[in-house]
Amino acid sequence: MLKKLLKYDFKAVLKIWWIAAAAVLVLSPVAGLCLKVTNSMRSFPAVVEVVAVLGLVLGYIALLVFVLLTVIVLAMRFYKNFFTDEGYLTFTLPVRRGQLLNSKLIVSLATHLMTFFVCGLSILLMLLVGEEDFIAQFREFWIEFWEIPRQEGFLGWAILYVVEFAVILLLGIVFSELFLDCCVTFGCIVAKKAKVAASIGIYYAASNVFSFVLTIFLMFGISSLGSWLSAVNIAETAAYALIALLFFGVIAIMALFCSLLYTLQYWMLDRKLNLP
């Protein structure tokens, strides 16, 4: 049954998403050409330069809009499928609440990853067209990126860090999606009318509080943690292991928060849902 849920969720999200993805991919070589013009040493008529700058700005805005659109499309699908008239049908389907939530979560994660891929591809296309010797520069960067760990003899650890970092990114996507869905759910449960506005308001307030706490933590935490780690007098291998362990700690705490949000959302849908 989960397969069927996934099919219909993907269908609902991708029917809008693919247009935006195609538009971004089409615009990226154009933005690349504009980048070429603005980078060029050759002089152009003022109108041409203005159009080139505008084209470049358009390229960047298209990327931003695309990312924003993905979030909105996913949130709208979640809202419509659960909290409008469609919700009556959704919650009478012969599936468990968990399967409904899992389907939404899997589709969100997959769509965000596809958005990430399309954005990466778009930037790559733009730079390939707009930057001379981009491939050579990228190759140089890539070699240099791995050269330091190779020279210092911690290549294996560096690969582990990259893998851990990728897991942290994935959990970050899951967390942000669950956070948004929780706010929508809460907004729809507490508000009798104007549920969308209530959801947006709750999301805005909650994300501001979360950002504030996170900013304070980053302001004090990261730099001091770095200097504290540097000052800890331990053997080199132990230090590498300690960093890997810290990353693992971050993964574990993010997983804990994701589970917490998932449970909260499940509980709200299971016990507090009251469709109009």
- Rule CB under 8 A: which residues touch another protein? 19, 22-23, 26-27, 29-31, 33-34, 36-45, 48-49, 51-52, 55, 58, 96-98, 137, 216-217, 219-221, 223-225, 227-228, 230-235, 238, 241-242, 245-246, 248-249, 252-253, 255-256, 259-260, 262-263, 266-267
Least separation in angstroms between residue 27's CB and another protein is: 7
Least separation in angstroms between residue 156's CB and another protein is: 18
Q: Which is nearer to another protein, 209 or 252 (CB)?
A: 252
Q: Which is nearer to another protein, 22 or 194 (CB)?
A: 22
d(C-alpha 221, C-alpha 130), whole Å: 39
Tokens of 17: 């998403």
Least separation in angstroms between residue 49's CB and another protein is: 8
Only one residue has tokens 């219909």, namely 8
Which residues make Cβ contacts (< 8 Å) with residue 66, sequence separation at least 6?
Answer: 20, 21, 23, 24, 115, 118, 119
Q: Which is nearer to another protein, 32 or 199 (CB)?
A: 32
d(C-alpha 90, C-alpha 83), whole Å: 9
Q: Which is nearer to another protein, 85 or 152 (CB)?
A: 152
d(C-alpha 163, C-alpha 142), whole Å: 16
Q: Which is nearer to another protein, 113 or 246 (CB)?
A: 246
d(C-alpha 130, C-alpha 160), whole Å: 34
Residues 158 and 146: beta-carbon distance below 8 Å: yes
Least separation in angstroms between residue 167's CB and another protein is: 14
d(C-alpha 56, C-alpha 166), whole Å: 30
Tokens of 4: 């069927």
